[in-house]
């Protein structure tokens, strides 16, 4: 019984390590991640309505994304 548990544990560890793939996305694959189909908000009107509700309920606005290069210029 103990041998079967050890074997199962080793197989589980090997399976979890074998499931690890590459750690980084290659530069030529990033274009697919930036595709508009990958956006969370499929309907812009629904997203605007949700933002309006959150603004009224929480008293906060914005935070939906940022424009610019991240240097603080904008």
State mean pLDDT over 41-70: 73
16, part of any domain: no
68 or 40: whose pLDDT is higher? 40
13, part of any domain: no
Q: Categorize the per-residue pLDDT at 62 as very low, low, confident or very high, splitting at 50, 70 and 90.
A: low
Between CA 72 and CA 44, with CA 64 as vertex, the angle to 5 degrees is 135
pLDDT at 15: 83
8, part of any domain: no
Count up the domains in the chain and report the number.
Answer: 1
Range of the domain at 54: 25-59
38 or 47: whose pLDDT is higher? 47
51, part of any domain: yes
pLDDT at 7: 93
70, part of any domain: no
Longest dimension (CA), the chain: 65
């Amino acid at each position: 019984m103990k041998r079967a548990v050890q074997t199962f544990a080793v197989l589980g560890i090997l399976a979890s390590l074998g499931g690890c793939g590459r750690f980084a996305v290659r530069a030529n694959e990033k274009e697919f991640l930036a595709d508009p189909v990958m956006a969370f908000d499929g309907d812009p009107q629904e997203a605007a309505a949700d933002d309006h509700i959150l603004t009224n309920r929480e008293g906060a606005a914005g935070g939906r994304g940022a424009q610019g290069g991240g240097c603080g210029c904008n």
